[in-house]
Amino acid sequence: MTRLVEFEYNRNRAVEYAHYWAYRRNPDFYNFQDIGGDCTNFASQCIFAGAGIMNYTPTYGWYYISASDRSPSWAGVQYLYNFLTTNKGVGPYGVEVGPQDVQPGDICQLNISKNVFHHTPVIVRVEQPITLDNIFIAAHTRDVDCRPLSTYTYTALRFVHIQGVRTIVTDPD
Cα 85 from Cα 82, distance rounded (Å)? 5
pLDDT for residue 15 is more than 90: yes
Cα 60 from Cα 114, distance rounded (Å)? 25
Cα 120 from Cα 159, distance rounded (Å)? 10
Instruction: Kindly state the average pLDDT of the residues 84-108.
Output: 98
Nearest of 123, 149, 135, 122 to residue 42 by alpha carbon: 122
Q: Pick the residue with more confidence: 37 or 99?
A: 99
pLDDT for residue 17 is more than 80: yes
Instruction: Kindly state the average pLDDT of the residues 60-68.
Output: 97
Cα 99 from Cα 162, distance rounded (Å)? 13
Q: Which pLDDT band holds residue 158 (cuts at 50, 70, 90)? A: very high
How many C-beta atoms surround the C-beta of residue 49 within 10 A?
21
Instruction: Kindly state the average pLDDT of the residues 154-168.
Output: 96
Q: Which pLDDT band holds residue 40 (cuts at 50, 70, 90)? A: very high
Report domain extents, the chain: 2-170
Q: How far is CA 159 from CA 86, 100, 109, 117, 134, in A?
A: 15, 10, 6, 11, 14
pLDDT for residue 173 is more than 80: no
pTM of the model: 0.96
Hey, is 33 helix, strand or coil? helix
Nearest of 113, 111, 114, 159 to residue 132 by alpha carbon: 159
